[in-house]
Amino acid sequence: MTEKQAQNIVTQAIAAMSSDRGRYYHLCWWEDRLQCVHVHHTKESHPIFYSAPGQVFADGLSSHQWHLITARLMEFSQNRGVRLTRRSRRRKQEQTAAPWPMLQVTDFDSTRLRALLATARTPGSPVSSHLDRLQGLLEAANTVSSRDVPGDVVTMNSMVRLKDDSGHEMTVSLVFPADAPRDADFEKSKVSVLSPIGLSVLGRRVGDTVEGRVRVSEVLYQPEAAGRFDL
């Protein structure tokens, strides 16, 4: 699939939506096709590519928004074995695949991470792609109260145990970039939220698979579960 083909599919989905400029909608994979529907159309977990007020979709997406959306669609199509048309049917293996996990981010974490996005972007920054990925994650995630987040969700400053298919385990703490070690041999367990591992585990729950063969095995420490709402 080319970027142009992905844009045509998105255009068709947006054209078919019945929008209220003040309500929020998202582009998602629902009922075996790409749709642009109200964010509360279902409580079931499903792939979400982009969320925005109806006004954004009605006025036209920016080049940056188009790039984010089409990149996610093309990655989804390739990884899930889906022929991405608005009426396409899933392959047999997709029908039996596990549900797409809904990421959960606390309101406190979301506020701080969005502030990070606002201050960390600089021309030619080596982490630009990671910032784009974080932005997309925050747009797609379900934002929950810090006091209501389940204890098995990976939040900022959580310590989690990861396990791969071979049984190898790794324990990491998810931290902000300023708290990540600069020395590669110092405090290896601390990983920045802007690292590939950090972006993969943020908002995940115990049992979720990340990076292909790695699973979130256990949340060893979560600030919210410990009554710490300031970390």
| For the chain, domain boundaries | 3-95, 104-221
Give the pLDDT of residue 86: 47
Q: In this predicted structure, which of 15-24, 53-62, 78-87, 150-159 has the lowest mean pLDDT?
A: 78-87
Average pLDDT, the chain: 81
Which has the higher per-residue pLDDT, 21 or 13?
13
Which residue, 227, 226, 228, 218, is CA-closest to 154?
218
Interval 10-36 mean pLDDT: 80
Q: Position of tokens 């089409």?
A: 70
Neighbours of 198 (CB within 10 A): 23
**Is pLDDT of 76 > 60?**
yes
pLDDT in tens, 111-169: 999 999 888 877 666 677 788 888 888 888 889 999 999 999 999 999 999 998 888 89
Query: pTM value?
Result: 0.57
CATH number belonging to the domain at 104-221, selected among 3.40.50.1580, 3.10.50.30, 3.40.50.2300, 1.20.1440.130: 3.10.50.30
pLDDT at 225: 94
